[in-house]
Amino acid sequence: MSERSIDIRGRSVWLYEDGDGPPLVYLHGFPDFLGAWAEPLPFHRDLAKGFKMIAPAHPGCSNSDEDDDMEAVEDVVFHYLEVFDTLQLDRFNLVGSDIGGWFAAEIAVRHPEMIEKLALVGATGLFIPGEPIADLFWESHPSDGVSLAGLRALMFGDAEQPIARDFFPDGRGEIEQELLRYKTFRLASRIGFNPPYLHHRRLRDRLHRFKGPALIMHGADDRLVPRSHAEAYASGFPAAQLEIIDGAGHSPHLEKPDQTAKLLHKFLSGEA
Amino acid sequence: MHPVELHCWHFMSYPYLPDDFDEKYDTGWVTVPNKLWDREKTDGLYQEYIDQLVYGEELGFDGLVLNEHHQNIYGLMPSPNIIAAALTQRTSKAKIVVLGNLLPLHQNPLRVAEEYAMIDSITGGRLVAGFAVGGGPEAYNYQVSSPKARRQFWEGVDLIVRAWTEEGPFEHEGHHYPLRYANIWPKPRQTPHPPVWIPGALSVETTHEVAKRGFDYFLSSRTHGSATRMAREQFATVLTEHGDRYHPFRFGVLISVYVAETDEQARAESQEGIWYFLKNCLKGHLRKTGRTLTFGAGVPSQSVKSWESYLKHSTPGAEMLGDANTWEELDSKASIIVGSPATVLQKFWDLIEEAQIGRFLIQFHFGNMKPELARKSMKLFAEQVAPTLRKDSAELFARQYPQLEERAELGAGE
């Protein structure tokens, strides 16, 4: 594994790379490595086996420069087109979790020719009338000044399991960790606060444009993104399969890392 | 001579909450259910609040201060300009100080430029124009993306000042508010334009933006004592960096007061209203109990650098103004001054001497306080506190800021 930064038209983008094989781009989410956690987790190490995995930190996240002009998910898509050009990636597997799943879907519907296979884990991004994405912004305000139980409950099936507590401790966590979280909220708020929350109204109608293989993974107890969103992704992409992960909430990659990585490998290596 | 300016501030809070409000609800903002609004009891409520402000002019206060809040029990002025319009017809001397219109909540800042120009024109130039970004509750109320709000805000402010001062029509090639034809009718009465006051809560970024434009600053953080002095020193330093000089009329503070005949009486009379204000109105804003929306990762308006500094210098779950449980605790926070005229005079004087403040924006009415008590407090302040404060401060400022004497009028752009 290695970490480095690359320059995209004067802005620095932080990349984590691991493994060897066909290219796989991993777009992180909020409860994730680079989104709220500084180190790669077992899931990421597993995912990289048999692939050359490239995980960039989104603009403003981790050590990537913030882009003050970034206003909408469209800007994120163009940012990634620049990143792919710079890395000379013209066809690759694309995996995204949470908001990273949203970005991956937006890229796939615009440039289906670039994507070998697409996998989304707990992806936001869709608007389903009457089935809103829950308010993670609101829940990031601790109740009684200290408790993040509400945020943990949106991010994990079992809100009080150790990894949930590690990610979002009550009171004050390590400054570095708090800053990682804050940076991701800056990006999420820029592109996903209005309309509420974290979606693009037109995306659902565009899903048909990506005709390649797609895997939609969703925690059975996800309280941030309703299951209907995963179902809409699965029915919107012409060649998609849906996997509901039992015993997981919004973060199957953290709550069921082995199972999630295995399903991804099976899908990506064509044994699905 | 330039005596200290004394302005009468009103929040127009909702006074009819049930007694168990604090137990039952975790915030008085954004999600506080509006089934609690009583359509009948509120008959005449706005009229009473407007009358209190008009009384402020009768008592000789320099200005009447309005503010914008939405979907909350703390302040019932979603549109302060409507109250300002009412005041134009009931007053003739006092400044009408709107602190301020929350620009990111408006689709087009020209509308604010127009409404402020109307108020200024109707009153023959009595408007003080305030602009504010809005905080956490406003982000949720109007779905404002916080990281973009400040840039949007300053573009809006600059567009408004340009619309007031430059010949129209002109094109505004803005990022957030691009306009082909900016050409407002009416223009404001005051030249070059009404004074501009900008509230801040100790953000260095804001003081720089204020200083750069020659506007005046007012501290809305409700922290007083040495914190006020430090804020003034910081603002003065920033002014110097921008080639400007501090004087007391560049800076104001929001301060809450209750005056009665004696200290004991002041405390007895104000208790109910003050506790209502602290426990209910500040819940969701300046109380750790429940859910404080004012700032936080969910409304990330501050730069990463400012947030880092905040994290390093704050304690999670620290008590805020509304968390005080006894009068002694409340007293120690120096945010609400309660006492006899002599006590209040002394505390104001300490603040003037320590922090060199020229503008006090004074909240007299708290939560569900009976109107007659708020009026009595205003009257005692006007008659037994204000005269000495004015006289002594004028002398102090004349000694310390001789440059003031060379200026006829103080305000924006100086």
Q: Which residues of A touch B312 (CB under 8 A)?
A: 175
Cβ distance A143 to B296 less than 8 Å, yes or no, reads no
Q: How many domains does chain A have?
A: 1
Question: Letter for the amino acid at B207?
Answer: T
Q: Which residues of B touch A64 (CB under 8 A)?
A: none
Kindly report the number of other CB atoms within 10 A of residue B324's CB atom: 22
Per-residue pLDDT tens digits for A227-253: 999 999 999 999 999 999 999 999 999
Per-residue pLDDT tens digits for A147-179: 999 999 999 999 999 999 999 999 998 999 999
Q: Give the rounded distance of the alpha carbon of A216 from its chain centre.
A: 12
User: Is this model's pTM higher than 0.90 or not?
Assistant: yes
Is residue B413 over pLDDT 50?
Answer: no
Cβ distance B311 to A185 less than 8 Å, yes or no, reads no
For residue A245, give the CATH number of its domain: 3.40.50.1820
H helices of B214-366, in order, are 226-241, 263-276, 304-312, 327-332, 341-355
pLDDT at B201: 80
Inter-chain CB pairs, A–B, below 8 Å: 87
Per-residue pLDDT tens digits for B152-176: 999 999 999 999 999 999 999 999 9
**Average confidence (pLDDT) per 10 residues, chain A, 272 residues:** 95 97 98 97 96 98 96 97 98 98 98 98 98 97 95 97 97 94 98 97 98 98 98 98 98 98 95 53
Q: A198 — alpha (psi -120 to 50), left (phi > 0) or beta?
A: left
pLDDT at B352: 94
Q: Which residues of B touch A190 (CB under 8 A)?
A: 145, 147-148
B290: phi then psi, degrees, rounded to nearest 5: 85, -140
The strand pair at B336-339 and B251-259 is best described as parallel
> What domain range is A224 assigned to?
2-269
Query: Using CA atoms, how far apart are residues A200 and A222, in angstroms rounded to an integer?
Result: 20
Cβ distance A193 to B139 less than 8 Å, yes or no, reads yes
Both tokens assigned to B357: 């403040």
Greatest Cα pair distance, chain B, in angstroms, is 62
A70: which residues sit within 8 A by CB, 6+ positions away?
A59, A60, A76, A79, A187, A190, A191
Q: Which residues of B touch A171 (CB under 8 A)?
A: 316-317
pLDDT at B166: 97
Q: Which of A26, A34, A54 is nearest to A187 (CA)?
A: A34
Q: At what angle do helices B386-400 and B341-355 cross, to 10 degrees?
A: 20
ipTM of the complex: 0.94
pLDDT at B282: 94
